[in-house]
Structure 1
Amino acid sequence: MHPWKALAVPLVAILTVTMSGASPATAVTPAIKIENNATQPVFSRADAVKQTVFVEVAGTDSDDDGQPDRVAMDILRPKETDQGLKVPVIMEASPYYAPGNDVPNHPVDVDENGNPLPTLKSMTDKLASEPFDGYYDNYFLPRGYAIALVENVGSARATGCPSSGDRNETAGPKAAIDWLNGRARGFDADGNEVSATWSTGKVGMIGVSYNGTLPNAVASTGVEGLKTIVPIAAISSWYDYYRANGGVLAPGGFQGEDLDVLAKFVLTRDKGFEVCGAKMDALTANQDRVTGDYSPLWDARNYVNDVNKVKASVFLVHGLNDWNVKSKQFAQWWYALAKRNVPRKIWLHQGTHMNPFSLRTAEWLRQLHGWFDYWLQGIDSGIMREPQADVEIGVGEWQQHASWPLPGATTVSLHPASGERLGLLPRPLSAKESFVDQSTRTAEQLVETAGADPNRLAYRTGELPADVRISGTPTVSVRASFKDGASPYLTALLVDYGTDVRPDGTLLSTGQTYCYGEGVPGDTGCTTLRRLGTATTPYKIVSRGWLDVRNRHRADRTEPLRPGKEYTFTWDFQPKDYLFKKGHRLGLVIISTDHDYTLRYPAGTRVTVSPGHSSLRLPVVFGRLA
Structure 2
Amino acid sequence: MPIPARRTHRLWGMFAAAVTAALLAVLVAPTAHAASAPRASEPVYSYENAVRESVWVDTRLDGDGDGRTDRVAVDIVRPHEPAAQGRKIPVIMDASPYYSCCGRGNESQKKTYDANGNVVQMPLFYDNYFVPRGYAFVAVDLAGTNRSDGCVDIGGPSDIQSAKAVVDWLNGRAKGYTTRTGTARAKASWSNGRTGMIGKSYDGTIANGVAATGVEGLKTIVPIGGISSWYDYYFQQGAALFGSGPDGLANGVESPEARARCAAVQKHLVDGAPRTGDRTALWQERDYVKDARKVRASVFVVHGMQDLNVRAKHFGQWWDALAKNGVDRKIWLSQTGHVDPFDYRRGAWVDTLHRWFDHELLGYDNGIDREPTADIERTPDHWTTDRVWPPAATATTALRPAEGSAAGVGTLGLEPGRGTETFTDDPALAETDWAAQIDASTPGKAGFISRPLGKDLRLSGSSKVTVTATPTTTSAHLSAVLVDLGPATVRDYTGAGEGITTLPDRSCWGASTTGDSACFKNTRTATADVNSTVFSRGWADLGTYANPDKGRPLTPGKSYTLTLSLAASDHVVPKGHRLALIVAGTDKGLIVPASTRPTLTLDLARTVARVPVVGGAAAFAAATSGSGVAAAYAYAADGLSTFRQDRPVPGGSTR
Q: Which residues of 2 match residues 45-194 of structure 1 at below 5 A? A: 45-58=47-60, 60-83=61-84, 84-99=86-101, 129-130=110-111, 131-189=121-179, 191=182, 192-194=184-186
1:423 corresponds to = 412
Report the Cα distance in structure 2 between the residues aligned to 1:339 and 1:429, rounded to whole angstroms: 36
In the TM superposition, 1:236-315 aligns within 5 A as 236-250=228-242, 256-268=243-255, 270-290=256-276, 292-315=277-300
Go from structure 1 to structure 2 and tell me whether the alpha carbon gap of 1:508 and 1:165 turns closer, same or farther (over 3 Å shift): same
For structure 1, which runs of at least 5 residues remain unmatched after alignment?
1-28, 102-124, 251-255
| Range 160-169 or range 78-87, more displaced | 78-87
User: How many Å apart are 1:31 and its aligned residue?
Assistant: 5.4
174 and 429 in structure 1: CA distance in 2 versus 1, 3 angstrom threshold? closer
Instruction: Give yes or no for contact 2:234–2:245 (8 Å, CA) kept in 1.
Output: yes
In 2, Cα distance between the equivalents of 1:473 and 1:617?
A: 9
Which secondary structure state, in structure 2, belongs to the residue aligned with residue 446 of structure 1? Answer: helix
- Could you report, residue by residue, the CA deviation over 1:408-440 in whole angstroms, capped at 9, with x for unpaired residues? 11222222122322232435542x221221222
Gaps of 5+ in 2: 1-23, 29-35, 112-120, 494-498, 626-655
TM-score by length of 1: 0.86
**Superposed CA offset, 1:301-320 (max 9, x none):** 00112112111111111111
After superposition, the Cα gap between the structure-2 partners of 1:53 and 1:425, relative to the gap in structure 1 and judged at 3 Å, is closer
Among 169, 193, 217, the residue aligned to 1:225: 217
How much has 1:32 moved relative to structure 2? 7.5
**Shift in Å at residue 81 of structure 1?**
4.3
Tell whether 2:521 aligns with 1:532.
no
Count of aligned positions? 565
- Partner amino acid, structure 2, of 1:151: D
CA contact (8 A) 2:233 2:241 kept: yes
Q: How does 1:599-614 map to 2 (within 5 A)?
A: 599-601=592-594, 604-614=597-607
The one of 391, 396, 401 equivalent to 1:411 is: 396
Q: Is contact 1:246–1:555 with CA below 8 Å preserved after alignment?
A: yes
Q: Percent identity?
A: 40
2-structure distance, mates of 1:68, 1:126: 35
**What one-letter code is carried by the residue in structure 1 that aligns with 2:532?**
Y
Q: Give yes or no for contact 2:501–2:526 (8 Å, CA) kept in 1.
A: yes
Deviations along 1:153-175, one digit per CA (max 9) or x if unpaired, are 01011011111111111101111
Alignment equivalent of 2:193, drawn from 192, 201, 211 = 201
Residues 188, 428 of structure 1: alpha-carbon distance in 2 compared, 3 angstrom cutoff: closer
Correspondent of 1:443 among 398, 420, 431: 431
- Residues 242, 249 of structure 1: 8 Å contact kept: yes
Distance 2:374 2:597 in 1: 46
Counterpart-to-counterpart distance in 1, 2:441 and 2:310: 33
CA distance in 2, matches of 1:305, 1:410: 24
The answer (yes or no) to whether the contact 1:96–1:128 under 8 Å persists in 2 is no
1:445, distance to aligned residue in structure 2 (A): 2.2
1:130-184 Cα deviation digits (max 9, x unpaired): 4512111121111100000000101011011111111111101111111111111
Superposed displacement of residue 513, structure 1: 5.1
| Secondary structure in 2 matching 1:540 | strand
Q: Residue 39 of structure 1: SS of its match in structure 2?
A: coil
Tell me the amino acid that sits aligned with residue 466 of structure 2: S
* 1:515-552 deviation line (CA, Å, top 9, x unaligned): 33122224442344433211111111111111111111
Q: Deviations over 1:473-529 (max 9, x none)?
A: 11112221001x344211112111111111112313578754331222244423444
Matching residue's letter, 2:146 = A
Cross-structure match for 1:479: 468
Q: Distance in 2 between matches of 1:464 and 1:129?
A: 50
Quick one: distance in 2 between partners of 1:39 and 1:601? 55
CA distance in 2 between partners of 1:383 and 1:425 (Å) = 40
How many Å apart are 1:568 and its aligned residue?
Answer: 2.2
Contact 2:71–2:149 (CA under 8 A) maintained in structure 1: yes
2:583 paired residue among 577, 581, 590: 590
Question: 1:492 aligns to what?
Answer: 480
For residue 38 of structure 1, what is the aligned residue in structure 2? 40
From 447, 450, 453, the counterpart of 1:464? 453
User: In structure 2, how many angstroms separate the alpha carbons of the residues matched to 1:35 and 1:338?
Assistant: 30
Q: What code does the residue aligned with 1:259 have?
A: P
- Give 1:100 shift: 5.0
Q: Does 1:547 align with 2:551?
A: no
1:276-334 CA distance string (max 9 Å, x none): 022212211220102x1112111000011211211111111111111111111111111
Contact 2:477–2:593 (Cα < 8 Å) also in 1: no
- From the superposition, tell whether residues 459 and 143 of structure 1 become closer, same or farther in structure 2 (CA, over 3 Å): same
Give the aligned partner of residue 353 of structure 2: 368
Which residue of structure 1 lines up, in the alignment, with residue 366 of structure 2? 381
Deviates more, 1:359-368 or 1:202-211: 359-368
CA gap of 1:32–1:561, structure 2 versus 1, over 3 A, is farther
Per-residue deviation, residues 539-593 of structure 1 (Å, max 9, x unmatched) = 1111111111111132223243321112222222111100111111211111111
Residue type of the partner of 1:44?
Answer: S
SS of 2:471's partner is strand
Q: Which amino acid aligns with 2:76?
A: I
CA distance in 1, matches of 2:295, 2:206: 13
After TM superposition, give the deviation of residue 265 of structure 1 in Å: 1.1
Distance in 1, matches of 2:594 and 2:328, equals 45
For residues 77 and 512 of structure 1, the distance between their equivalents in structure 2, rounded to whole angstroms, comes to 29
Q: Which residue of 2 aligns with 1:216?
A: 208
Change (3 A) 1:539 1:217: same
Shift in alpha-carbon separation, 1:151–1:469, aligned structure 2, 3 A: same
Structure 1 CA distance, aligned partners of 2:592 and 2:602?
22
Q: Classify 1:198/1:425 alpha carbon distance in 2 versus 1 (closer, same or farther; 3 Å).
A: closer
Contact in 1 for aligned 2:423/2:445 (Cα 8 Å):
yes
Taking only aligned residues, the RMSD between alpha carbons, in angstroms, comes to 2.3
| 1: CA distance, partners of 2:303 / 2:223 | 8
User: How far, CA to CA, are the matches of 2:235 and 2:335 in structure 1?
Assistant: 24
On the 8 A contact 1:90/1:148 being kept in 2, the answer is: yes
CA distance in structure 1 between the partners assigned to 2:596 and 2:434 by the alignment = 15
Tell me the residue number matched to 1:625.
624
Contact 1:232 1:355 in 2 (8 A): yes
Cα distance in structure 1, aligned partners of 2:280 and 2:479 = 23
Q: Which moved more, 1:519-528 or 1:370-379?
A: 519-528
Question: 1:75-128: per-residue Cα shift (whole Å, max 9, x none)?
Answer: 001021441332111000000011159xxxxxxxxxxxxxxxxxxxxxxx9967
Offset at residue 614 of structure 1 (A): 1.6
Q: Partner letter of residue 212 of structure 1?
A: G
In structure 2, distance between residues paired with 1:127 and 1:276? 26
- Cα distance in 1 for residues equivalent to 2:555 and 2:516: 63
Runs of 4 or more consecutive aligned structure 1 residues displaced over 6 Å after TM superposition: 32-35
Is 1:452–2:441 an aligned residue pair? yes
